[in-house]
């Protein structure tokens, strides 16, 4: 009984690890060029194209976290498709509801989210950065997953809701990064505890 339990737990953990971890390596030059071509086709400024090229070509193959600072208006900006009386939070939810399935499919998810408790207590070298509504960190399994989600044509319409729900925002990627609560590590500890419990009861029986 205990041996079968360990085997099942090991297989489940390996399946989770394979889903949660990028096993395809860094972006290939061909993938980078295809992504840059899509960005250029969207009419991006040359500066943004150059920035994205540097970001994609420096791919390590590891996961990354996008740090987001968001300032939301009290009332959402008027955009096509906005329903009467909708709040800023509801409009943002309408934008995110299209992203959640794509994020989950690619093992990407928030690692923290929070509402600002006060204006910035330290601002240096930048103007207009005193007030923010919330902050969030979004974990992406890889740069490949990030561009797949961002390049999905289905988001072109819902993206208007993102614009309606934000006054200003800053987003930048962090890589490398780490956290003690990595789900792969936590799940391994949980499965180890289950396995040891089953093994202990098996010996008593």
Burial of 125-143, coded b for 16+ CB within 10 Å and e otherwise, reads: eeeeeeebbeebbbbbbbb
Find tokens 């250029």 and name the residue.
40
Q: Does the residue 158 lie in any domain?
A: yes
Q: Does the residue 187 lie in any domain?
A: no
Q: Are strands 168-174 and 64-71 parallel, antiparallel or unpaired?
A: antiparallel
The parent domain of residue 132 ranges over 63-175
What pLDDT is attached to residue 156?
63
CB atoms within 10 A of CB 51: 13
Q: What is the CATH number of the domain that holds 134?
A: 3.30.70.100
Distance CA 82, CA 162 (A): 11
Q: Does the residue 94 lie in any domain?
A: yes
Distance CA 7, CA 204 (A): 20
Q: Does the residue 83 lie in any domain?
A: yes
User: DSSP class of residue 86?
Assistant: -
What pLDDT is attached to residue 188?
97
| Residue 45 to residues 36, 52, 55, 78, Cα–Cα distance (Å) | 12, 11, 15, 25
- Residue 64: strand pairing partners: 140
What pLDDT is attached to residue 155?
65
- CA atoms in the 13 A half-sphere facing the CB of 66: 19
Digitized pLDDT (tens) for each residue of the chain, 205 residues in all = 788 999 999 999 999 999 999 999 999 999 999 999 999 998 989 999 999 999 999 999 999 999 999 999 999 998 888 888 999 999 988 888 888 888 999 999 999 999 999 999 999 999 999 999 999 999 999 999 999 988 777 666 677 888 899 999 999 999 999 888 899 999 999 999 999 999 988 877 6
Q: Does the residue 150 lie in any domain?
A: yes
| Count of domains observed in the chain | 1
């Amino acid at each position: 009984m205990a041996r079968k339990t360990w085997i099942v737990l090991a297989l489940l953990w390996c399946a989770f690890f394979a889903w949660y971890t990028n096993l395809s390596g860094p972006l290939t030059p061909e993938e980078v060029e295809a992504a840059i071509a899509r960005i250029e086709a969207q009419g991006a400024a040359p500066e943004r194209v150059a920035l994205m090229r540097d970001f994609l070509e420096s791919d390590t193959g590891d996961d990354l976290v996008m740090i987001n600072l968001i300032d939301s208006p009290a009332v959402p900006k008027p955009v096509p498709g906005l329903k009467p009386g909708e709040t800023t939070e509801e409009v943002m939810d309408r934008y995110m509801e299209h992203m959640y399935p794509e994020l989950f499919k690619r093992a990407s998810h928030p690692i923290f989210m929070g509402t600002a408790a006060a204006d910035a207590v330290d601002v240096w070298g930048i103007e207009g950065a005193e007030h923010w509504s919330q902050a969030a960190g979004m974990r992406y399994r890889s740069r490949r997953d990030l561009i797949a989600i961002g390049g999905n044509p289905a988001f072109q319409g819902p993206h208007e809701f993102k614009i309606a729900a934000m006054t200003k925002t800053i987003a930048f990627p962090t890589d490398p990064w780490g956290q003690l609560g990595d789900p792969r590590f936590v799940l391994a500890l949980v499965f180890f505890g289950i396995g040891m419990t089953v093994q202990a009861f098996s010996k008593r029986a």
